[in-house]
Each structure stands twice: as C-alpha cells, then as structure tokens.
Amino acid sequence: MKILLYFLLISSSLGFAQATFEKGYFVDSRNQKTECLIKNEDWVKTPNILYYKQNESDYAKEIPTQQIKEFAVGTKIKFIKREITIDNVKNKTIEFYDFKDYTTRVETIFLKVLVEGEANLYKYENETQFKYFYSKNPDSIKPLIYYQYKDGERLRANDSFKKELFDNLTCESLTIHDFLKLKYQVNPLLNIFEQYNNCKNTTFIEYKANDTKGKLNLTPKIGYQFNSIKSTYSDIPSSDNNPVFGFEVEYLLPLNKNKYSIFIEPQYTHIKFLNEKVYTEGFNNEFTIYSTQKLDYSYIALPIGGRYNLFTKPNTRITFSFAFVINLMLNDTFESKSTRKGPYNDYDRIYERILDPTSSFMLSIGTRINKISAELKYLPNTEIVDYTTNSLKYSSFGISLGYTL
C-alpha cells in the first residue's frame, strides 16, 4: 500500500508538470487583459482556480477565478462574470414548486458563453441548477425562464423563454413553429441562435459546450497476483502467488477532456492454500492435535468502478482507479480437518463447506502509453471462510499488463 501512495504522489506531480496548456487570455478585476497559455480542462462549471503560463517553458501559475472578470481558451471555451437575475428553482433535482413560490435573486456569477454574435447565448450551472441566458447586448443579459410547477394535482410548465426568444429573434428563416417546439436544452437552443445569426449575416462564434467525445476501449490483460492468506489457526500469514488473466472494458466519459472513465474488468484467479498446525492440549498436554486447512479457490473477479485519468500527453495518461469487486465462484473446495491423539477419546473431525460469493474493493494506479498499459493493484482483506473457529482472509497486491485493441 505504501508503494501505491508513493507512486501516487510522484505521478500527480509529474502529470501536472507535463499537462497541455492552450492559447487564451483572462481579464482581471482591474480590467487588465493577460494573453497567456491556459490549462484547458473542458470545464462544465466555473473552476475555482485558473492555471496559466506565459510560454511553454514557463512554470505554471495560478489565479483564483474570484479575481477574474473574464477568461477564454481560443474559440473552445469562454466564461464572463456578470450581475444577473436568476431564479431559485433547482431544476437538476426532481422538485416541483407552487407557482406562487417562484422567487429570484440578483447575483454576480460566471456565465459560460455558448454563442457570441448579434445574439448571444449563455449557460450557468452549479450542483442543483442549470440555467440559460441570452442577450443582444452583452451589458444587458436576460434569463430564459423555464420551470415546472404544481397547479393543484396537475403538473404544468412555465416556458416563457419561447415567447421571449420569438419576440427578440425575429428573422425570415425562423417561424413561430420553431419556437413553439423549442426545448430547454443546449442543442435546440444552439440551433435557434445559429439560425438567427446566420439569417442576419453576422459573424458569430460557437463555443463548444463540450468538445470532448466519449471513447470505448477493450483491453486484454495478463498479470501476477501476490496473495497473503491469514487463518485463525495460525498468526503467521501464508502466501500463494498466481497468474491472472482477464480483459477490461473502459468507457472514457465525454467531459472534462476524458478526465473520468468507468470500467469493468473480469479476470480469472486461482488460489491454493494449505495450513497445517500441530499443538497439544489437556491438563498435562496429553493430547496432540493435528489440524489441517485446505483451500482450492478459483473464481472470476468482477471489478466495477471509476477512474481518474491524468493526461500528461495526448496518448499518455496516469490512472487512479477505485472499484467494487464481486467474486463469482468457479471452484470452491474448503476442508478443515482436526485429528486428536492421546490416551483416550481420540477423534477425527472433518468440516467441508461450499463457499459463498465474496466481495471487496480494489485500489489501483497505472500508466497508459498509446495502446500499452501497466497497473499496480491492491485488494485489502477479503473474508473467504467465516466460521466461529475456522476463518480465512486474504489480501493481494498485483501487477497487470494490457494492450488496447
């Protein structure tokens, strides 16, 4: 486990040092504009800190976004800080309001610019809300109002954003039907603003709400696992090392530059264990006990989890993973035998048990360069057998290599 933590610290420092920065700018609270290279993390919400460099060879600096009025990375992403009126409806949660409970507040916030032209479209998002705004003058930004509310037992919607846009985005190519069918979603709204700006023959910029695409990876893997097995019969851990075989299906999520992914990784594992112990008991130690525990344990481990990807180059990343692991039994022979020898009352006792499926969790750290990957994995104590007098637990540390197809 110490190796994993040590590798984590080094990898984080290395990954940050080699992160890709792109051309952009920011305007600080004194209206001073700084042209620089900005670390583009494909933000969905406003970041708390902006990392930037003056040039490629410069060290990364940071500035809190509280001290910034505006920032952009090329034509990919742009945020502006404005004082606007916003409602209090939590439309990311399943909450419905009475119409009379609709309230607003005036707040200075960052808006994400989606379209910039004669007509501008903006978005605001936090943990409980996403809201859209528009303007034909950047100094007069208005909310696009949409929310659902309860009217007695009926559920209704206030979709006054449709009329607002119909009244202010008048153009030959847009009809009333285009606005009546309009949904309070990013792509339909983008389409309306694109059509309007094109109709007015004005130059406009569409800042991609998220230019990151999802990707599915299939990676066969081989590895070696070092198992430490502890029994209630002995305080001395035993070990059994074995190869493992499997494959991983990973989906890189289409957000934040593929920083996050989910995966499932079935793998075959076979553990054998033999624990023999001899001891005496009785008033004068007249009895000798010969105890044996034997385990033949093969299973399909099924880790299902999430991953944080730290890209150091376009095709190179360091990975930190956490997974819940379900073990599906293939062969599970467990036998506990106890033989007593002495002057009287000798006995042989044999216990056999079919094992139940087990579960645990897994931590891992790895690196991927192009199609080749290497990973260190740690699984803490997993209870295989749970008797009052017979208990087996194991933990494992492993390494795996993979090749993405």
Residue 385 has pLDDT above 80, yes or no: no
Q: What percent of the chain has pLDDT over 70?
A: 81
pLDDT in tens, 182-215: 999 989 999 999 999 999 888 888 887 556 678 8
- How far apart are the C-alpha atoms of 180 and 161, rounded to whole Å? 10
Note the CATH number of domain 215-403.
2.40.160.20
Domain ranges (residues) in the chain:
16-206, 215-403
- pLDDT tens, 43-74? 777 888 989 988 888 888 889 988 999 999 88
Q: Which residues, listed in sequence order, are joined to residue 327 by a DSSP beta bridge?
A: 301, 358
Provide mean pLDDT across the span 87-101. 70
Question: What is the rounded average pLDDT of the residues 89-95?
Answer: 73
Q: Is the pLDDT of residue 181 over 60?
A: yes
* Structure confidence at residue 16 (pLDDT): 44
Higher pLDDT, 299 or 362: 362
Kindly report the number of other CB atoms within 10 A of residue 369's CB atom: 12
> What is the rounded average pLDDT of the residues 228-237?
58
Angstrom distance (rounded) from CA 111 to CA 48 = 14
Distance in angstroms (rounded) separating the CA atoms of residues 139 and 250: 45
CA 88 to mean position of chain CA atoms: 28
For residue 76, which of 142, 20, 29, 133 has the smallest C-alpha distance?
20
Banded model confidence at residue 143, pLDDT cuts 50, 70, 90: very high
Q: Is the confidence at residue 289, as pLDDT, over 90? A: no
CB 305 within 8 A of CB 321: yes
pLDDT of residue 99: 59
Closest-CA residue to 269 (of 304, 239, 231, 227): 227
According to the model, what pLDDT value does residue 98 have?
64
pLDDT of residue 353: 63
- Residue 34 pLDDT: 92
Q: Is the dihedral of CA 112, 114, 116, 121 positive or negative?
A: negative
User: At residue 236, does pLDDT exceed 60?
Assistant: no
* Whether pLDDT at 123 is above 90: yes
> What's this model's pTM, rounded to 2 decimal places?
0.59
Q: How many residues does the chain have?
A: 405
Site of tokens 């750290």: 365
Query: In whole numbers, what is the pLDDT of the chain averaged over residues?
Result: 81
**Which residue is associated with the tokens 């990392």?**
51
Residue that wins the pLDDT comparison between 396 and 20: 396
pLDDT in the model for residue 4: 45
What's the confidence (pLDDT) of residue 391?
64
The pLDDT, as a whole number, for residue 375 is: 92
Weakest mean pLDDT among 76-80, 105-109, 268-272, 299-303: 268-272
Please determine, for residue 1, whether its predicted confidence score (pLDDT) is greater than 60: no
Structure tokens at 228: 């430490």
| Contact indicator for 109, 122 with CB cutoff of 8 Å | no
Q: 37: pLDDT confidence band, cut at 50, 70 and 90?
A: very high
Q: What is the pLDDT of residues 341-369, one digit of tens each?
A: 777 767 667 766 666 667 788 899 999 99
Q: How far is 237 from 384, CA to CA, in rounded Å?
A: 15
Q: What is the mean pLDDT of residues 108-121?
A: 92
How would residue 312 be classed by pLDDT, with cut points 50, 70 and 90? confident
Whether the per-residue pLDDT at 9 is higher than 60: the answer is no
CA distance 1 to 395: 11
Share of the chain above pLDDT 90, in %: 29
Per-residue three-class SS string for the chain: CHHHHHHHHHHHHHHHHCCCEEEEEEEECCCCEEEEEEECCCCCCCCCEEEEECCCCCCCEEEEHHHEEEEEECCCEEEEEEEEEEECCCCCCCCCEEHHHCCEEEEEEEEEEEEECCCEEEEEECCCCEEEEEECCCCCCEEECCEEEEECCEEEEECCHHHHHHHHCCCCCCCHHHHHCCCCCHHHHHHHHHHHHHHCCCCCEECCCCCCCCEEEEEEEEEEEEEEEEECCEEEEEEEEEEEEEEEEEEECCCHHHCEEEEECCEEEEEEEEEEEEEEECCCCCEEEEEEEEEEEEEEEEEEEEEEEEEEECCEEEEEEEEEEEEEEEEEEEEEEEEEECCCCCEEEEEEEECCCEEEEEEEEEEEECCEEEEEEEEEEEEEEECCCCEEEEEEEEEEEEECC
Looking at per-residue pLDDT, the higher value among 276 and 309 belongs to 309
Residue 112 tokens read as 């994400």
What is the pLDDT confidence band of residue 157, given thresholds at 50, 70 and 90?
confident
pLDDT of 161 strictly over 90:
yes
Alpha-carbon span 246 to 238, nearest angstrom: 25
d(CA 165, CA 188): 12
Backbone torsion region of residue 152, taken as left when φ is above 0, otherwise alpha when ψ lies between -120 and 50, otherwise beta: left
pLDDT in tens, 242-261: 788 889 999 998 877 788 89
